[in-house]
Amino acid sequence: MTDKYAVIGNPIGHTKSPLIHATFARQTGQDIDYLAIEGEIGHFAENVETFRRDGGRGMNVTAPFKLEAFDYATDLSEQARLAGAANALKFEGGRIFAQNFDGVGLTRDIVSNLAFTMRGRRVLLLGAGGAARGAMLPFLNERPAKLVLVNRTVSKAQALFEQFKPYAEGDFSWCSYSELAEAAEPFDLVVNATSASLRGELPPVPVGVFASGGVAYELAYGKGLTPFLKRAQDAGAAQLADGVGMLVEQAAESFEWWRGVRPETATMIRTLTVPLR
């Protein structure tokens, strides 16, 4: 019997999830049907209930419903609880299990696909919103020598720091963009978790933060050489990456969570990659 899964969001026309999961299913021999559902604003729970009644087994959740998915769940993983949001649901009887795989997918892409070891390295994370919140625990679990949070609204960076400070073993801190510029310290990995690139804008990141030979990672994907990546390139960063690997890796995490088998991701990442130029 074919099992039903879906992604829910609004808007949803741009989603690559049906393609990704159909490819994973063929690759692993799993019998699933995966749909894209445009959820109604204000009616997330009703939309999910309809899908469950129709035999749905699980869902991926994208903007703007990750907070509602968090509230809807009966059982939260530690990662979802700390992130305050859920991007994957699994239905078993009357229980609704929630996970947040965004940060796990991001970290796996950096460590496994880009072959960048975060342990003992200097990491700078731009932004203090949902994307940064999801990345915090996976990043700290990699044991970087130094992790710095920076955000335009410094109170948000400080709040994120206070929440995750108990999980840190190395040098963990936060600062403003002006303090970052004054420090003039290079970082081995700089991750842009702000929404600036979605608007074609450059976050106020100083050129000096990019270590020569380091990595610059843009969470937005399919945008080519964004202003952030162009600045990193001009500053001498050796490796540039956008979020397509994160997209595929978080999808693989949810697929394995649902089906118990891990799909291969490299082929799909190559398929979806837009040249950074």
- Residues marked active site are found at 66
Task: Report phi then psi at 243, rounded to 5.
Answer: -85, 15
Instruction: Give the C-alpha separation, 269 to 249, whole Å.
Output: 9
- Please, what sign has the CA dihedral across residues 42, 127, 198, 237? negative
Query: What is the H or E stretch that residue 256 is in?
Result: helix 244-259
E-assigned strand segments in 145-246: 146-150, 171-175, 187-192, 210-218, 239-241
Is the preceding peptide bond at 144 cis, omega within 30 degrees of 0? no
Contact of 242 with 223, CB cutoff 8 Å? yes
Instruction: Give the C-alpha separation, 136 to 259, whole Å.
Output: 26
Name the residue with tokens 């020569």. 212
Q: Of 39, 41, 46, which is closest to residue 15 (Cα–Cα)?
A: 39
Instruction: Give the C-alpha separation, 218 to 246, whole Å.
Output: 10
DSSP 83-146: HT--SEEEEETTEEEEE--HHHHHHHIIIIIS----TTSEEEEE--SHHHHHHHHHHHHT--SE
Instruction: Give the C-alpha separation, 168 to 73, whole Å.
Output: 28
